[in-house]
Each structure stands twice: as structure tokens, then as C-alpha cells.
Amino acid sequence: MLKLVCFGDSIMARKEGLDTPMLTTKLGERLDSFEFINAGVSGNNTIDAISRIKNDVIKHKPDLVTVLFGANDAAFHKMVDLETYKSNIYKITQMIKPERTILLSPAPVDEKVQFARTNEILFDYASAVKQVAVDTGSYFIDFYSKMIALDDYPQILKGIRNDGLHFGDKGYDFLVSLLVEKIRDVGY
């Protein structure tokens, strides 16, 4: 069985009313050839990620790793500057190996209810992830652009907390469909 680690922040970790993290639960329903390991930790940024990558990701010897950080790096109250963020994404990708890495840009927020982040800043962080993917040859999902292009994206961002950042069932269905498509595209 192939191993896929979902490495990230609260977007990876949230259960949204389930007993297990919603993302890996939904991925498991769609991809039965993988064992999924959820390595999401709420509140984490890329600095936290580097400190825990060996224990939470590398030790599992994964075939693929999804990497989604940025929402906390881009938050006003705990911002990791853009260049440090980009450098950290490079380090994470090199530690995992580009051929095993699926980088995801951070998602947009609903600015009507989310006050700690703006889409303008998140776009810059999403662009940084895209640049790392191009430079390293890792796989990439432009989660930001694909979600913000949806007419009803603020609706998709509604989760139990309804804070414009932590999405619910519809948001996870959208993210899982992007991941499944990418995983199949890369030959798994």
C-alpha cells in the first residue's frame, strides 16, 4: 500500500464534526490504494513545519506528501515574512524530495468574516508557493486561484466555525477533488 502524508496546518487537521480529520477521511473514501497519515497541526506555520517534519513526515517514508501552509504565515498577528515563508517552502520541499511533493497554495478567505488575513496578502503567499514548485519541479495545485474563481467561494468557505478561513464539507469536497485529480495525473 502507498503512503500519503498530508502535512499542514488546521486546514489539514480539522475534523469538522467527524471523529477523524475530514481531509484524510474524504481522501480515503476516494483513493483506496493509499494509507493516509494526517500531519496537520492547527496554528502551525512553516517555521513550526520545519521543526516537526522529520518526526511527522520523513519517518513515515511516504510515497507522496501534500504540503499546505500559509494561512498562519500570512496572518497579521503572527506573520512570517514572505521571503522567509518562501525559503521555508523550499526547505520543506527539499527535505521531502520534489518528486514526492504536492505543494498547495493557501486558500483565499471570506474577507467579510475573516479579519486576520486578506486575499491580497494570501495571493502573494500563493504566488511564492507556485514559484517554489516551478523552481524545484515539485507538483503544484493552485488552490487559491481555483477556489477564488468559484462564484460561490464564500459559501464554500463556510464551516462549523464560519470564520471565513476554516471551511466545511463543501470546501473539503473541492480540495479532495483537486488532490485526487493531481494524484491520478502524477501516475498513482
- pLDDT tens per residue, range 111-157: 999 999 999 999 999 999 999 999 999 999 999 999 999 999 999 99
Consecutive H or E run containing 125? helix 119-136
pLDDT of 73 > 90? The answer is yes
Q: With respect to CATH, is domain 2-185 assigned 3.40.1390.10?
A: no
Domains of the chain, by residue range, sit at: 2-185
Residue 159 zone, left/alpha/beta (φ > 0; ψ -120 to 50; rest): beta
Instruction: Look at strands 2-8 and 101-104 and give their pairing.
Output: unpaired
With pLDDT > 90 as the criterion, what percentage of the chain qualifies? 98
pLDDT of 35 > 90? The answer is yes
pLDDT at 25: 97
pLDDT at 188: 86
pLDDT at 109: 97
Torsion angle of the four alpha carbons 115, 25, 173, 181, in this order, in degrees rounded to the nearest 10 = 120
pLDDT at 127: 98
Tens-place pLDDT, residues 162-188? 999 999 999 999 999 999 999 999 988
Residue appearing with cell numbers 504540503: 67
pLDDT at 155: 93
